[in-house]
Amino acid sequence: MAKDEKTTVANLIGNNAILQKMDLEKYISAMVGLPTLKDIVSELGKPGLDPRETVKVFTFNQNIRTINDLKTGMLLPGIVNNITNFGCFVDIGIKESGLVHVSNLSDKFVSDVNEIVNLHQQVIVKVLEVDVDRKRIQLSLTKK
């Protein structure tokens, strides 16, 4: 297309004057139909448009470096890194992941953990209990 218009691909991008006057019929083949060609021209008319969703920026709490830094009642950002029948484990940015027991996933009865959380989902959890000796962290997703 660019060659037929005696220009470069870079000059085609965003140049609606050239794109509108192109005869797309001459580019139809057994592999490429008119709808595909119209899509191509449509996308060439949108320079710099990225159709992907914006990425959510995520950072762990920088003040929490070890299990000893945790206190009951803290709200922390985390990422669900394992789902089990009895709850899910959440990475809060330290060596130990915390457990959100199925009873602490929601204020309502939960029969399937997967209905509440997804693997790699970003969540805010509340620290319910910290057992430093056993290296266990009990977390909650509920507002209790």
Instruction: State the alpha helices, DSSP H only, in 1-144.
Output: 9-12, 16-21, 34-44
Q: What is the CATH number of the domain that holds 118?
A: 2.40.50.140
Contacts of 51 (CB under 8 A, 6+ apart): none
- If asked whether residues 29 and 72 sit together in one domain, one would say no
**H or E stretch at 124:** strand 122-131
- If asked whether residues 124 and 89 sit together in one domain, one would say yes
- If asked whether residues 74 and 135 sit together in one domain, one would say yes
Tens of pLDDT, residue by residue, the chain (144 residues): 888 889 888 888 888 888 888 889 988 999 999 999 998 888 888 877 666 667 777 899 999 999 999 999 999 999 999 999 999 999 999 999 999 999 999 999 999 999 999 999 999 999 999 999 999 999 999 765
pTM greater than 0.75? no
- If asked whether residues 94 and 135 sit together in one domain, one would say yes
- If asked whether residues 131 and 74 sit together in one domain, one would say yes
- If asked whether residues 100 and 134 sit together in one domain, one would say yes
Whether residue 3 lies inside any domain: the answer is: no
Whether residue 89 lies inside any domain: the answer is: yes
Whether residue 62 lies inside any domain: the answer is: no
Total tally of structural domains belonging to the chain? 2
- If asked whether residues 74 and 132 sit together in one domain, one would say yes
Whether residue 14 lies inside any domain: the answer is: yes
Whether residue 55 lies inside any domain: the answer is: no
**How large is the C-alpha radius of gyration of the chain?**
26
What six digits make up the tokens of 2?
């660019």
Whether residue 58 lies inside any domain: the answer is: no
The four Cα atoms 105, 108, 110, 111 give a dihedral, to 10 degrees, of 180
Whether residue 49 lies inside any domain: the answer is: no
Q: Rounded CA gap, 99 and 3, in Å? A: 61
Whether residue 20 lies inside any domain: the answer is: yes
Instruction: Note down the domain range covering 99.
Output: 67-140
